[in-house]
């Protein structure tokens, strides 16, 4: 049985960057978090970007578990759970900091409301 394209891409990233797999989870999560904010014009305080990170983490873990199953290996559920938490931790902290503190707020700007701006305010 050959290696899946996903597994090959992960090994190439590990080799190319010299980083451990756990560190790559953090970098990928930040790319997904900030990338979705930039590309989709979402705000970091909105939960949308965090949900995109969670979707990416879950997709990666489903692919990992499928590969383990294909090889006849036991499914490493605890490792998958750890990877999901590791992937989502930093974006969760960033999202909470933007929502609950003034750390990322410009001087003289209004506090962030819990609701998304209306279409009139967003224009």
pLDDT at 6: 82
**Residue-wise pLDDT tens digits, 31-40:** 999 999 999 9
**Residue-wise pLDDT tens digits, 87-114:** 999 999 999 999 998 777 776 666 556 5
Is the whole model's pTM more than 0.85, yes or no?
A: no
Mean pLDDT of the chain: 86
pLDDT band, residue 9 (cuts 50/70/90): confident
Question: Which candidate, 28, 3, 7, places its Cα nearest to that of 17?
Answer: 28
The domains of the chain are located at 12-101
Print burial letters for 23-59: b (CB count within 10 Å at least 16), e (below 16): ebbbebbeebbeebbeeeebebbbeebbebbbebbee
C-alpha distances (whole Å) from 122 to each of 41, 42, 56, 118, 119 are: 11, 11, 27, 6, 5
């Amino acid at each position: 049985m050959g290696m899946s394209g996903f597994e090959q891409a992960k090994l190439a990233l590990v080799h190319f960057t010299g980083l451990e797999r756990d560190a790559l989870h953090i970098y990928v999560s930040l790319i997904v978090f900030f990338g979705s904010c930039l590309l989709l014009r979402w705000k970091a305080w909105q939960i949308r970007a965090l949900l995109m990170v969670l979707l990416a983490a879950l997709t990666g873990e489903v692919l990992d578990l499928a590969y383990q199953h294909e090889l006849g290996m036991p499914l490493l559920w605890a490792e998958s759970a750890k990877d999901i938490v590791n992937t989502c931790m930093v974006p969760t902290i960033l999202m909470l900091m933007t929502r609950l503190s003034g750390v990322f707020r410009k001087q003289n700007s209004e506090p962030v409301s819990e609701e998304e701006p209306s279409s009139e305010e967003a224009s």
